[in-house]
């Protein structure tokens, strides 16, 4: 606010005049910022719903710059913190919201989850009555087998997925495997629950030492004021004093950014603040002493709490009743915990082991590792199984054979454009050539019909990671997820597990090779890489000439799925190599008809 120069000399008159000036300034600021606040809050809620947590955080930061005490904003901050596993910041926002509206059930719902994130079951129990599912979950973690009885009427058609999972998990813990397996299988069979990915909201993994976890990646924390025990509480018409000021002070300004501003230009620099015009909550009061030119001499920041008996209309101006009515059910959904896919798969794996169904146990453990390799003993179990039944993975650069065998391998894809993967498949069928497709898991998941067609037409499907990253830049767990999730996608579509993987760009190291081996896969690299000639300015004839000059018995030929040059050159490549006596085989057949594998060179 621009500094007002009051002509009134008496200190009490100065205080009164500037108090009025501060009121008009605060009102004008509120009018200017209400639209920006509601817009930023609405955007933040939408971003949270779509799982875009970094963008939600940015929108909430804009909202908090206007108002750090409005309850819908605080609940949105709490949802962001819970989703990202930040229990302490969630609690801070929820306790501030509770000061605004002590009876609001969403604050208790959020506080119960914050306590679960901290593995405080007893603390969570104190708030869990706000949600029947949470109350049952806390009791189940405590070993209460009565939960299974109370959920005995839940069927496979239960519309609430968390209640369905609670019923299934409690049945298993009560020893009723048939019922528990049926309910959890029904949950995972729902289209929205088939993906090997947890919700980005807070999930309940049904583990005593890990009672809840955020599904979203951490974001930079939002700054909310933490009130120490000696924080002054202001009510009604509060008197503000600057205390001791430095020599040369000519005026003192009092500011609560976006809410209040006043300037006093004569000692003892006292003013009055009508706190009833602001909502209850915590505010940072900035007191600045300036010289006669308005230059700051020093500045102090004081955290104060406003606590008036009657609710302030200020926040109704920030968030209209209509907007609040629209936001509250969305905030409830964001603050509602979600079931855990990995917990369901792990429980089904344990049940399959009890039933001596090793195939089902393996499938469920693979799904757990695809979601979270660190969950319980899933990765160790899968590694042990594959070491015992599949063996140690090797790396193949070529087949060790005098036979004129060539493994044609096609990376990337599937690409659903008719002149890409469909055209490639048409051409291969016409040529009667079987190849090995190294597919990207996310693309396979989005195009299951093309994967089925590859399998139906006799091609081998191998693993080229889920998102095609440089695997050497990833953590070990991220590598395991990239590879295992792709294998699970292919398995769920075709019923067959990939037995070969190729790291994108050929970038690999010992840790990546070990992860692939633990997942039951061998590395498939290449003898001849035609990538350079698959694209302009080179012609299809250039690719053909390059391949024909390089091929030897046992060659693993790396091409892609499916540039124009590749589709146009392959008929001539196949015709010419067959004329030389070469046979096209899949990776599996090449290995089976070869001698010992060529060692992988790291």
Domain match, 105 and 45 both: yes
> Mean pLDDT by 10-residue block, N- to C-terminus, for the chain (602 residues)?
30 29 36 73 97 97 88 96 96 90 93 96 92 96 95 97 98 97 97 90 95 95 78 90 91 89 92 86 90 93 82 68 95 96 98 96 97 96 93 91 97 95 97 98 97 98 97 96 97 96 94 93 96 95 97 97 94 97 97 69 38
430 and 368 in a common domain = no
Same-domain check for residues 383 and 458 = no
In a domain, 309, yes or no: no
Helix (H) or strand (E) segment spanning residue 243 = none
Judge whether 253 lies within some domain.
no
Distances (CA, A) of 172 to 140, 177, 178, 340, 353: 11, 5, 8, 16, 13
Q: Quick one: 489 and 475 in the same domain?
A: yes
Same structural domain, 367 and 485:
no
| 288 found inside a domain | no
CATH of the domain at 69: 1.25.40.10
The CA-CA-CA angle for residues 520, 523, 526, to 5°, reads 155
End-of-domain residue from the set 331, 360, 389:
389
Q: Are residues 474 and 427 in the same domain?
A: yes
What are the two backbone dihedrals, phi and then psi, of residue 552, each rounded to the nearest 5 degrees?
Answer: -135, 165
For residue 483, is it within any domain? Answer: yes
Pairing of strands 251-256, 260-264: antiparallel
Q: What is the pLDDT of residue 138?
A: 96
Q: Specify if 132 maps to a domain.
A: yes
Nearest 5°: the CA angle 272, 273, 275 is 150
Are residues 437 and 345 both part of a single domain?
A: no
Q: Is there a domain that residue 226 lies in?
A: no
Q: Comparing C-alpha atoms, which of 589, 600, 587, 594 is closest to residue 553?
A: 594
Distance CA 73, CA 86 (A): 17
> Are residue 383 and residue 462 in the same domain, yes or no?
no
Count the Cβ atoms, other than its own, within 10 Å of residue 506: 13
Helix (H/G/I), strand (E/B), else coil: 437? strand
What positions carry a catalytic annotation? Answer: 411, 560
Domain boundary among 214, 231, 259: 214
Instruction: Give the residue numbers spanning the domain of 365.
Output: 341-389
Give the integer Cα–Cα distance in Å for 305 and 225.
10
pLDDT of residue 595: 75
The pLDDT, as a whole number, for residue 14 is: 28
3-state helix, strand, coil in the chain (%, to 5): 50, 15, 35
Which of 214, 240, 258 marks a domain boundary?
A: 214
Q: Are 499 and 564 in the same domain?
A: yes
Which CATH number do you get for residue 441?
Answer: 3.20.20.370
Residue 566 maps to a domain: yes
pTM above 0.85, yes or no: no
Residues 6+ apart with CB under 8 A from 567: 419, 423, 424, 427
In angstroms, rounded to a whole number, what is the distance separating the alpha carbons of residues 120 and 460?
50
Q: Where are the beta strands (DSSP E) in 358-504?
A: 395-396, 405-411, 436-439, 460-463, 500-501
453 shares its domain with 353: no
In angstroms, the CA 560 to CA 577 distance is 19
Cα 87–Cα 92–Cα 342 angle in degrees, nearest 5: 20
Q: What is the pLDDT of residue 305?
A: 84
pLDDT score of 396: 95
Same domain, 82 and 160: yes
Close Cβ partners of 159 (under 8 Å, ≥ 6 residues apart): none
Q: What is the pLDDT of residue 5?
A: 32
Sort 493 into a burial class: Cβ within 10 Å, 0-12 / 13-18 / 19+: buried
Do both 128 and 37 map to the same domain? yes
CA–CA distances in Å: residue 414 to residues 147, 266, 411, 560, 585: 46, 76, 9, 10, 20
Is 301 within the bounds of a domain?
no
Interacting residues of 160 by C-beta distance below 8 A, sequence separation 6+? 133
As for how many domains the chain has, the answer is 3
pLDDT in the model for residue 315 = 58
């Amino acid at each position: 606010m621009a500094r007002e120069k009051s002509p009134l000399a008496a200190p009490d008159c100065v205080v009164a005049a500037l108090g009025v000036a501060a009121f008009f300034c605060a009102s004008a600021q509120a009018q200017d910022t209400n639209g920006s606040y509601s817009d930023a809050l609405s955007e933040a809620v939408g971003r949270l719903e779509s799982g875009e947590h970094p963008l939600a955080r940015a929108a909430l930061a804009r909202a908090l710059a206007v108002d750090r005490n409005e309850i819908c904003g605080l609940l949105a901050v709490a949802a962001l913190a819970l989703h990202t596993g930040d229990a302490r910041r969630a609690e801070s926002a929820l306790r501030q919201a509770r000061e605004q509206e002590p009876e609001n059930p969403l604050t208790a719902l959020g506080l119960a989850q914050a306590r679960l994130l901290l593995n405080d079951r007893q603390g969570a129990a104190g708030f869990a009555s706000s949600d029947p599912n949470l109350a049952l979950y806390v009791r189940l973690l405590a070993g209460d087998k009565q939960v299974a009885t109370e959920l005995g009427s839940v069927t496979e058609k239960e519309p609430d997925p968390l209640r369905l999972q609670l019923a299934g998990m409690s049945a298993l813990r009560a020893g009723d495997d048939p019922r528990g397996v049926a309910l959890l299988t029904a949950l995972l069979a729902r289209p929205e629950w088939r993906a090997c990915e947890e919700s980005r909201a807070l999930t309940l993994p049904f583990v005593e030492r890990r009672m809840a976890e955020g599904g979203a990646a951490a974001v930079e924390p939002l700054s909310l004021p933490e009130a120490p025990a000696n924080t002054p509480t202001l009510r009604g018409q509060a008197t503000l004093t600057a205390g001791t000021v430095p020599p040369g002070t000519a005026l003192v300004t009092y500011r609560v950014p976006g809410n209040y501003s006043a300037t006093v230009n004569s000692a003892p620099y006292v003013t009055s603040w009508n706190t009833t015009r602001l909502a209850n909550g915590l505010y940072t009061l900035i007191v600045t002493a300036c010289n006669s030119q308005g230059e700051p001499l020093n500045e102090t920041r004081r955290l104060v709490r406003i606590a008036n008996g009657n609710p302030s209309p200020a926040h109704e101006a920030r968030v209209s009743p209509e907007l609040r009515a629209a936001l509250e059910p969305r905030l409830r959904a964001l603050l509602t915990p979600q079931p855990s896919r990995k917990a369901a798969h792990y429980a089904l794996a344990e049940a399959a082991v009890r039933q001596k169904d090793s195939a089902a146990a393996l499938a469920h453990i693979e799904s757990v590792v695809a979601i979270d390799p660190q969950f319980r003993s899933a990765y160790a179990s899968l590694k042990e199984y594959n070491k015992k039944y599949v063996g140690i993975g090797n790396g193949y650069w070529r087949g060790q054979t005098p036979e004129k065998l060539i493994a044609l391998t096609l990376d990337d894809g599937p690409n659903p454009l008719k002149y890409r993967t469909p055209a490639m498949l048409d051409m291969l069928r016409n040529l009667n050539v079987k190849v090995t497709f190294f597919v990207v898991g996310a693309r396979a998941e989005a195009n299951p019909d093309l994967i089925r067609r590859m399998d139906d037409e006799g091609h081998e499907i191998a693993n080229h990671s889920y998102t095609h990253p440089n695997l050497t830049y990833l953590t070990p767990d991220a590598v395991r997820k990239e590879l295992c999730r792709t294998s699970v996608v292919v398995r769920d579509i075709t019923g067959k597990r990939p037995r070969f993987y190729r790291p994108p760009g050929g970038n690999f190291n010992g840790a990546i090779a070990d992860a692939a081996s633990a997942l039951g896969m061998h590395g498939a690299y290449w003898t001849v890489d035609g990538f350079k000639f698959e694209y302009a300015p080179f012609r299809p004839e250039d690719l053909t000439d390059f391949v024909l000059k390089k091929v030897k018995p046992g060659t693993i030929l790396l091409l892609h799925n499916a540039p124009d040059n590749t589709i146009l050159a392959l008929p001539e490549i196949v015709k010419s190599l067959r004329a030389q006596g070469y046979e096209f085989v899949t990776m599996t057949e090449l290995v089976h008809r070869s001698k010992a594998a060529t060692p992988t060179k790291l």
